[in-house]
Structure 1
Amino acid sequence: MTPFPNRHRLLQACIAALLVVPAFSVAARREAVTADSLTARMQAAEARFTKAAIGVRNGEPEAQRESDAALQDMEDAMNACARLRGCQMNTMLATYNRLLKRTVDTEMEEDDDDLAADALGHELGGDVPRGADAASLLADDHRFDRMVEYNPAVQQSIRRWLTDMRGPLIASWENYRNMRHLMWPEFEKRGLPEALLFGIMAKESNGKVHSTSRAGAAGPMQFMYNTGLRFGLGNDGTGFDTRYDPRSAAMASAEYLAERMRQLDGNIELALAGYNGGEGRALRVYQSSGGRPFWDESVYNQFPAETRDYVPMVIAAAWLFLHPKEYGLTLPKVEPKPVALRLVQPASIYQLSICLGNKGVREGYMRTLRNLNPRYQPETFIPAGTTISATARMVTQYNRWCTSGARADLARTLVVSDPSRAIVRAGQLQTVARTTDDSAPGDTVEATMPVPAATAAPARKPASKPAAPRAYRVQEGESLATIARKFRCDVGDLAKANDIKRPNSLKRGQSIRLAGCEG
């Protein structure tokens, strides 16, 4: 909320005051109010309004009320001036023009600097802690600049982010903005810079909550399973791995980094090296080198190539987070406004992604839905009445497009479509009646046409011993639910037959037995 729309009210008051025809009388000339006192009153009200405007931008609870009261004082002063002989309305208008110009300049500056304002918390969600004012928050976050080295390795990484990896950087920004209210408070509580959070997340996962590496690291902050357990991540008892939960992952990441920083004398580069290359290695190198920095040759060369690349890439992403304008980096304005969305009918994330469309969002809402609701697989139908996490814009789109109508019906049709029904099996022909072009009206001729396998009556087979379950190799991105749907079998039976405890733990190329499946 800002006080700037009040300038229209102020302008109206000025115009109204100018239009007043003063009716001078003996009583009016004897008024105790003097022109000088009105001018002083106007100046005092301007000062109050200016101070309140800063408070509104910084989220101070009483600032808007103070802004309105100051504005009312200005209006009263102008109205009194219009009725008083000798009062210079030009002075009042000069005050108004000065205030209006300052207001417009501030708005233009904010529009031109959306990223900086967003990155520093000027549009925070309700759950995000805030500093006392914007200036202190700015100074606090830019500690990062003084905590790292801006050297050629970091500069080369900035170049990579701004060329071949500009797309992933922008996607990381969009994903982070939608999860910021979940992740940033965990870093802020531990005194860690927000830029560091963004840099790690951008490098590790691009902000994709369900990202999993070949080595088994998972979630937006890419925790290995055993490391995650040390910091409270893992199976929560329902089968969900909390490494995929953005709030839990951010909390664990902040605690992990705080622990590394305590061990490594606050050295961010070494802490990042430990994050990627192993905390044990980082501590041994630090102690054996006598506390030398990461960029010292004797330290740098003791880390693997992956870590030597990782550290400057994280720092570069964090640097761009803080200094976008210097590099001509314009990132999209994202309006997260997190809200709850109650489903009025069963739907999957796939279905919602289709019916919501992509108005105002370049790639649609699927990634945001998945990031905000990590417990749900995209193809799983969520029961009616369930409340899921969403944004205000999603709720608007949902109420318009997803509850009824052609688009809602089409989305349901698309998500339940079964490609196997399109296949026609050899020999399955059916005699049908059709009208020929050269036959008399009502005459028909016999013809044979292929019948889709799904609609053809299955041929009876003599009873025999059930065949042993077939083996199937898991494809990229598949889960037990998608495999069960593809082969028409029960997820629970599949999990039991293959002794799978975590449904989301399938890996590409893994062989599973299709117990109880039809397809």
Structure 2
Amino acid sequence: MLLRSAVRSLRHTPLVVALGLLAACASGPGSKPSASVNELYSQLDQASKGYETALQQARAGDQQASQQSLTESLNRLKEAAARCGSTDGCDPQRFFSVFDRLLRLKDGDFSDEQDLNSDVDASQAALAAGQTGAASLPQAQRSVTLLRGQKLSELIAMNGPVKSALEDWLTWRRPNLMDAYVNYEHLRYQMWPQYQKADLPEALLFGIIAKESGGKVHVVSRSGAAGPLQFMYATGLRFGLGTEDGFDMRYDPAASARANAAYLNEQLKTFNNNLELTIGAYNGGEGRMRRLVGDDNSVSFYDPRIYNELAPETREYVPAVLAAAWLFLHPNSYNLKFPKVDGAPGSIVLKRAASLSEITVCLGSAAGMDDGWFRTLRNLNPRLDPQVAQPIGTRLQVPRSLEKVYASRCIDGPWPILAADLHSAQVPVVAAAAPAPKARGERRYRVHHGDTLISIVRDLHCSSVQEVAEMNGLRHHRIRAGQRLKVPICN
């Protein structure tokens, strides 16, 4: 415990403050290094080696020696960082780099409860083993942290775009990150096993969810991408996300996670396990990424030949996904605390007819959910219209923590009566004004083999997928060769 407390000082003691002051105190580009700079750099190197020694001693079981080595290295690092800010010619970036490297080595925890080579804490790995039936804890850890035999943290370049994305997630996007985490934790038992079977790290799944949908299962983008992982219809079909009994499988959390994992593994093979190119292909299209990369699969995503030719959305998307994945692995290192979420799955059988909306009113803020349970109930029961009452005997998926709450609040008493009364309220219908005539007319377009709704709209230069879909009453953007579509006439 003493050792753990000492390591936590790496996160929260004046070392972090000293590093934060370095940028403000850095010398200008024209200043000359003083005689003390080499001494500071030497002290920095010794601190880094001391930290590694402490890791090795902890692995060997010598906790007393590890504690001593750790304390000495941290003191040396804090002292050197503090002096760098007031020393002419001292480069603060060297201290930031060492601090970042130490975080990668061990995320600040020498506890015996955690594998020293892991990127996640023991509680995450234990939950993985319990929920997915993993044969052993190390296997669960590998499925969480490794991508093609490498730690995920080693594949994330801590460069300017990723650091900027980290700041975004920790500031104005912080509420979105927290909502995504809560939503994901309730969907985790459905989605993560699909990633585990595909040997992909959980943090990557969370990063994509956080950026794509925030864990909202029913999100649909302007371009027609749908579901928690935002599949376009054609791409979803390619990976088995068709329609079952009228339900679009892109909205199914488990099926979409399976399809997403299959897509990523396909593209990782294409791009020689380059994670950044693969994520870029997921957002910007694999065809475009392949054309840009050509035969050079070793090229960096940030190479100007690639980066400068991508859409701004994709340039922002890739580091945002990686930054969210990094925070999922290392929250404590960034003064971030995710909420505790009991995502254990459960179910209820309705004892009285009710819609998801009515049940949400009955449940209130039970189990500490201040924002209510509407989003979670919708996510876990994606096939149901939340406004339509389900008959007695219907089984609903809910968090296990709500099973007893439902029995006590939503079967008898005042809350279901209130919920039913609110749900049956009638809103006066106001006759809509006659729509203004459209400035442009319509014409007919005959669908050819190979056409997609997106390609047709792109050729029009003046419309949107949604507009053409609505003009023709298309469901799921399906078209067939020979079909005649109404399309707008554009000037």
TM bracket (short chain): 0.5 to 0.7
Measured after TM superposition, the shift of residue 503 of structure 1 is 9.5
AA in 2 matched with 1:366: F
Measured after TM superposition, the shift of residue 171 of structure 1 is 0.5
Measured after TM superposition, the shift of residue 234 of structure 1 is 2.4
Consecutive unaligned residues of structure 1, counting only runs of 5 or more, are 1-104, 110-114, 424-468, 473-496, 506-519
Q: Distance in 1 between matches of 2:172 and 2:412?
A: 42
Q: Distance in 1 between matches of 2:471 and 2:290?
A: 41
Rate the CA distance shift 1:358–1:121 in 2: closer, same or farther, 3 A: farther
Spell out the pairing of 1:187-336 with structure 2 (5 A cutoff): 187-236=195-244, 238-289=245-296, 291-336=298-343
Measured after TM superposition, the shift of residue 419 of structure 1 is 2.1
Rate the CA distance shift 1:239–1:350 in 2: closer, same or farther, 3 A: same
Quote the residue 1:350 is aligned against. 357
Q: Which of residues 353, 370, 373 in structure 1 aligns to 2:378?
A: 370
Measured after TM superposition, the shift of residue 378 of structure 1 is 1.2
Quote the residue 2:33 is aligned against. none
Contact 1:289–1:298 under 8 Å retained in 2 = no
Rate the CA distance shift 1:290–1:121 in 2: closer, same or farther, 3 A: closer
The Cα offsets for residues 57-112 of structure 1, whole Å up to 9 and x where unpaired, read as: xxxxxxxxxxxxxxxxxxxxxxxxxxxxxxxxxxxxxxxxxxxxxxxx98999xxx
The Cα offsets for residues 183-232 of structure 1, whole Å up to 9 and x where unpaired, read as: 00111111111111000010000000001100100000000011100001
AA in 2 matched with 1:191: D
Rate the CA distance shift 1:342–1:274 in 2: closer, same or farther, 3 A: same
1:361 maps to 2:369: yes
Contact 2:166–2:320 under 8 Å retained in 1 = yes
Rate the CA distance shift 1:225–1:254 in 2: closer, same or farther, 3 A: same
Rate the CA distance shift 1:256–1:412 in 2: closer, same or farther, 3 A: same
Rate the CA distance shift 1:291–1:138 in 2: closer, same or farther, 3 A: closer
Measured after TM superposition, the shift of residue 130 of structure 1 is 2.5
The Cα offsets for residues 344-387 of structure 1, whole Å up to 9 and x where unpaired, read as: 11111100100011121121111110110000111011111011
- CA RMSD in angstroms comes to 3.0
Quote the residue 1:6 is aligned against. none
Spell out the pairing of 1:379-418 with structure 2 (5 A cutoff): 379-418=387-426
AA in 1 matched with 2:169: W
Quote the residue 1:122 is aligned against. 126
Contact 2:213–2:229 under 8 Å retained in 1 = yes
Q: Distance in 2 between matches of 1:397 and 1:202?
A: 29
Contact 1:179–1:246 under 8 Å retained in 2 = yes
Contact 2:252–2:382 under 8 Å retained in 1 = yes
Secondary structure of 1:122 counterpart? helix
Quote the residue 2:443 is aligned against. none
Rate the CA distance shift 1:304–1:346 in 2: closer, same or farther, 3 A: same
Rate the CA distance shift 1:134–1:325 in 2: closer, same or farther, 3 A: farther
Q: Distance in 1 between matches of 2:475 and 2:344?
A: 33
Contact 1:125–1:337 under 8 Å retained in 2 = no
Q: Distance in 2 between matches of 1:136 and 1:302?
A: 39
Measured after TM superposition, the shift of residue 337 of structure 1 is 1.4
Contact 1:239–1:503 under 8 Å retained in 2 = no
Rate the CA distance shift 1:358–1:116 in 2: closer, same or farther, 3 A: farther
TM-score, structure 1 as length reference:
0.58
Secondary structure of 1:123 counterpart? helix
Q: Distance in 2 between matches of 1:192 and 1:182?
A: 15
Contact 1:324–1:330 under 8 Å retained in 2 = yes
Between 317-326 and 291-300, report the one with greater CA deviation: 291-300
Contact 2:145–2:202 under 8 Å retained in 1 = yes
Consecutive unaligned residues of structure 2, counting only runs of 5 or more, are 1-109, 115-119, 437-469, 479-491
Measured after TM superposition, the shift of residue 138 of structure 1 is 6.0
Measured after TM superposition, the shift of residue 165 of structure 1 is 0.5
The Cα offsets for residues 285-315 of structure 1, whole Å up to 9 and x where unpaired, read as: 2225453111222221121111000000000
Q: Distance in 2 between matches of 1:131 and 1:330?
A: 30
Percent of aligned positions that are identical: 40
Q: Distance in 1 between matches of 2:284 and 2:395?
A: 40
Secondary structure of 1:393 counterpart? helix
Secondary structure of 2:397 counterpart? strand
Measured after TM superposition, the shift of residue 258 of structure 1 is 0.4
The Cα offsets for residues 258-289 of structure 1, whole Å up to 9 and x where unpaired, read as: 00001000011000010000011111222254
Contact 1:239–1:502 under 8 Å retained in 2 = no
Bigger Cα Rg = 1
Quote the residue 1:180 is aligned against. 188
The Cα offsets for residues 235-254 of structure 1, whole Å up to 9 and x where unpaired, read as: 11x11101001001000000
Quote the residue 2:153 is aligned against. 145
Q: Distance in 2 between matches of 1:267 and 1:391?
A: 37
The Cα offsets for residues 113-171 of structure 1, whole Å up to 9 and x where unpaired, read as: xx9455x3433496524352158616951511112212111010000000001000001
The Cα offsets for residues 443-501 of structure 1, whole Å up to 9 and x where unpaired, read as: xxxxxxxxxxxxxxxxxxxxxxxxxx9889xxxxxxxxxxxxxxxxxxxxxxxx99857
Rate the CA distance shift 1:189–1:413 in 2: closer, same or farther, 3 A: same
Q: Which of residues 167, 174, 199 in structure 1 aligns to 2:175?
A: 167
Q: Distance in 2 between matches of 1:405 and 1:339?
A: 23
AA in 1 matched with 2:326: W
AA in 2 matched with 1:128: T
Contact 2:227–2:251 under 8 Å retained in 1 = yes
Contact 1:212–1:218 under 8 Å retained in 2 = yes
Rate the CA distance shift 1:153–1:223 in 2: closer, same or farther, 3 A: same
Q: Distance in 1 between matches of 2:180 and 2:187?
A: 11
Measured after TM superposition, the shift of residue 339 of structure 1 is 1.2
Q: Which has the higher contact order (CA 8 A, sep 6+)?
A: 2
Q: Distance in 1 between matches of 2:273 and 2:419?
A: 52
Between 306-315 and 334-343, report the one with greater CA deviation: 334-343
TM-score, structure 2 as length reference:
0.61
Secondary structure of 1:420 counterpart? coil
Q: Distance in 1 between matches of 2:169 and 2:250?
A: 26
